[in-house]
Amino acid sequence: MITKILHQIWNQRRHNVWIFVELFFVSLFLWMIVDPLYVIYAKKSIPGGYDNENRYIISVTIDEDQISNRDLIRNIVDEIVNMPEVENSIIPIQASTPESSAIISDRLHNEQDNGKGTLVYVFHYRWLGNRDMFATLGIKDANSGKILTIPQNYKGDDSQIFISKSAAMQLYGATDVIGRKPKEETEIIGVYEDYKSVSYLEPIPSVINLLPGLGMLDVYLKKIVKLKEGSNVNNFKKRVNELCEKKDFENIKEIRIETLDEYRKKTETYAMAANTIRQKFIFGSFAILCIFLCITGTFWVRMDNRRSDIGIMCSMGASRSRVVRQYVTEAIILLTLAFVAGLPFILHYVYINGFAEPSVCALPRGFVPNPEYRVNNFYIHFALVTAITYAALMLVTVLSTLIPVLRATRIQPADALREE
């Protein structure tokens, strides 16, 4: 049957060449559309490195003339920490909350090469809190897989840092790096699982400082709290909102409480990340719809023009299933030839431009994608996008051929001969 189909394709080559050219360009364009959509989905599905269940972020805005009033800020913090529902808490400063790009970047080097070789640019997060700070967000130790704990000898200053797994791997090729000094007079005292700063990106190499005191706070105070299991969330929210009504806290201008998910969505909206991603999905979906309508129309018209051929086959004793198989297989062969012909051009495009990247925030200079994620593996990435593209084209081609062929097999042989 395949030989007969190939002869049929060759005999109608003048008609088929236009379909081949159309499928060739459609394959190229659809691949380029699927690629960024796949990247967005793949990177968003990477775990964030923290637990957002039962976690809330409290945002407090105080009068600007009270920023130097550390007693007021300390009293606000103590009031929240001492609420009966609160189990752990931290104060992220300078955009160090989850789903925020740190405004501080830093660079680390492998001390064994005197700073002349391996260099890694990282985001630098700073938190204020107690020794249970990592438990607040459920951040785990990269070596043990348990919640990261703060060693007893921690000094609480810039001389000791916690480093992410990806930063440790890029610097040293291992995660057992406690005691190493990636900066002068700065020692690593812990390695944590990668911490995701933006949901649409993979985790960025980072370091965390846990600092004492309130000296780096401004008029916008944020506090992340983990509630105790079984706590009444409504009672907790009521207590927080009632802070503004207390006489000692009359300088509070605004107080908000949100889940980490709610805060993430709001942050993405303010940073235009959500709109950027939404636009890509809308334009991508519209382009895919146009491509599918184009293919559907082409094959539908092609099959309608061959109704007489189908009727003649039926009049000569060909079964309905055989006619359907022949014409569907013919369409699949045409699609496959055009798609294979386009692969070298797609490879060249990727070689020149690389894969798509959802640019929703600034990345640290010299950022190197983590090869552990399959979206960053060239062969897996290319194979998956190619397979998705081919499968989508295959589905549309088969449906666009199958429906008109089934309709054509219902005509009477006499009508088909009359059309011939």
**pLDDT over 90, % of the chain:** 8
State the DSSP code for 146. Answer: S
* Band (346; pLDDT cuts 50, 70, 90): very high
Mean pLDDT of 64-69: 60
Q: What is the reported pLDDT for 249? A: 67
Is residue 402 a contact partner of residue 324, using CB atoms and an 8 Å limit?
yes
**33 versus 365: which is more confidently predicted?**
33
296 closest CA partner among 14, 13, 22: 22
- Cα–Cα distance, 104 to 124 (Å, whole number): 5
* Cα 366 to chain centroid, rounded: 20
Three state DSSP letters for 223-246: EEEEECCCCCHHHHHHHHHHHHHC
191 closest CA partner among 215, 166, 157: 166
* Band (13; pLDDT cuts 50, 70, 90): low
Tokens of 139: 């951040």
Mean pLDDT (the chain, rounded) = 78
Tokens of 89: 């808490």
First to last CA, the chain: 24
Q: Is residue 161 helix, strand or coil?
A: strand
* Band (64; pLDDT cuts 50, 70, 90): low
Dihedral sign (CA 16, 19, 21, 24): negative
State the DSSP code for 363. Answer: P
Q: Is residue 197 helix, strand or coil?
A: coil
Q: CA Rg, the chain, in Å?
A: 30
Tokens of 191: 């390695």
Long-range (24+ apart) CB contacts under 8 A made by 284-293 are 284/33, 284/34, 284/36, 284/37, 287/29, 287/33, 288/30, 288/33, 288/34, 288/392, 291/26, 291/29, 291/30, 291/33, 292/392, 292/396
List Cβ neighbours of 44 (8 Å cut-off, separation of 6 or more).
199, 200
Dihedral sign (CA 226, 229, 233, 237): negative
Q: What is the reported pLDDT for 307? A: 67
Is residue 107 a contact partner of residue 121, using CB atoms and an 8 Å limit?
yes
Tokens 């796949």 belong to 38
pTM of the complete model: 0.76
Tens digit of pLDDT for each residue in 209-218? 877 655 555 5
Is residue 31 a contact partner of residue 389, using CB atoms and an 8 Å limit?
yes
**262 versus 364: which is more confidently predicted?**
262
Q: What is the reported pLDDT for 415? A: 59
- How many other β-carbons are positioned within 10 Å of the β-carbon of residue 97? 23
